[in-house]
Amino acid sequence: MDNQEFKKKLIIRSFNLARNVIKLADTFPQKRSAWIIIDQLLRAITSIGANIIEAQAASSRKDFINFLNHALKSGNETKFWLALSKDLDEKLISEIEKYLKETDEIVKILGSAIATLKGKNKL
């Protein structure tokens, strides 16, 4: 798989993850505590893909790395909110775990890409 294909697959994965978590959030209970978690979760999850897309239009290598760093931070924040959302409805725990796993995989990809771009993964 070449670099362009890899980027495209990462964008698709982050887009599909955001889409699925948005659908999941619509099933959460309608109570004040859930609204706060949902709001933060949706901001974080949608920020991952948005920052990956922004990185594609970066004006420099430093700018590219900066956008990927933002995506990474949003991914880590998403993991926090997903973990917390397990307390909202125990019937949704297995679905939330699935999205936690996918988020963790995307975070690892982003972390590895950033380390490589910064020259920390030299072979």
Residue 123 domain-assigned (yes or no): no
What span, in angstroms and rounded, lies between the C-alpha atoms of 92 and 90? 5
Domain that holds residue 98: 3-117
Are residues 48 and 21 in contact, defined by beta-carbon separation less than 8 angstroms? no
What is the Cα gyration radius of the chain? 15
- What are the tokens at 20? 């699925």
Residue range 11-30, pLDDT digits in tens: 999 999 999 999 999 999 99
Residue range 21-62, pLDDT digits in tens: 999 999 999 999 899 999 999 999 999 999 999 999 999 999
Residue, of 3 and 56, whose pLDDT is higher:
56
Residue 48 domain-assigned (yes or no): yes
Residue 86 domain-assigned (yes or no): yes
Residue 69 domain-assigned (yes or no): yes
What span, in angstroms and rounded, lies between the C-alpha atoms of 30 and 42? 15
Which segments of the chain does DSSP mark as H helices, in order?
Answer: 3-25, 32-56, 61-85, 93-117
Q: How many other C-beta atoms are found inside a 10 Å radius of the C-beta of residue 19?
A: 13
Question: How many domains, the chain?
Answer: 1
CATH number at residue 12: 1.20.1440.60
Residue 44 domain-assigned (yes or no): yes
Crossing angle between the packed helical segments 93-117 and 32-56, to the nearest 10 degrees: 30
Which band of pLDDT confidence, cut at 50, 70 and 90, is reported for residue 122? low
Q: How many other C-beta atoms are found inside a 10 Å radius of the C-beta of residue 104?
A: 15
Residue 40 domain-assigned (yes or no): yes
Residue 122 domain-assigned (yes or no): no
Residue 32 domain-assigned (yes or no): yes
DSSP code, position 29: -
pTM: 0.91
